[in-house]
A and B are shown apart, each in its own frame.
Chain A
């Protein structure tokens, strides 16, 4: 995939991850063109919607951590 696309997703998350933790804890989100385009409970549900909508390029699908998920990495 395009390296620039990976970089854009990474930069977007660096700016918005904290917001996602506040807004969508525990949810699975799909990010495309600098915005959240799908929110679901399971990866399968989100990838299915991506296929159905024919979203290109492949969005970044990300399970937003909950507060308790952060304990294991923010020590």
Chain B
């Protein structure tokens, strides 16, 4: 059975459009709505460590890895298995936290996300859609 896609509007900023969407992340039993930039170039979902600090989450207790970023350098990321919500879909995903994320936005990356949804960037329509896959 084909699942209905979840539709997000691109966010207009300074006359341009950006695929920024609102997702839920459950941290120590509390759901937090968080803005993320949908980034197929990022292997993992990575949130700014200041969010973890802000909610009192010891992110440094996660699995430490190094991720290569756009300028070729590597940044430390601490991975955690957290519950994530996109639309009405809830699932476990690896979510990293980093104090060295060089971009101003949190990133929604591929691991545990892009295999769960068919993600379609429809820039002409100003929307990005997430269609749950049967594998998810």
**How far is B31's CA from A5's CA once the two chains are assembled, in angstroms?**
11
* B interface secondary structure, majority: strand
Chain A, interface size: which category?
20 to 34
Contacts A42-B54, A58-B31 given; does A74 touch B16 at CB 8 Å? yes
A10-B8, A63-B104 given; 10 more Cβ-contact pairs under 8 Å: A7-B22, A10-B21, A14-B12, A43-B50, A43-B51, A61-B51, A70-B14, A70-B16, A72-B104, A74-B18
Stretch from B32-40, B58-66, B109-117 contacting the other chain: B32-40
Query: Smallest CB-CB separation from B37: which chain A residue?
Result: A73
> How many contacting A-B pairs (Cβ < 8 A)?
99
State the A residues within 8 Å of B (CB): 1, 3, 5-7, 9-11, 13-14, 17-18, 21, 42-47, 58-63, 65-70, 72-74
Query: Smallest CB-CB separation from A47: which chain B residue?
Result: B54
Contacts of A70 in B (CB 8 A): 13-14, 16, 104
Query: Smallest CB-CB separation from B48: which chain A residue?
Result: A63
Question: What number of B residues sit within 8 Å (CB to CB) of A?
Answer: 35
B54–A43 touching, CB < 8 Å: yes
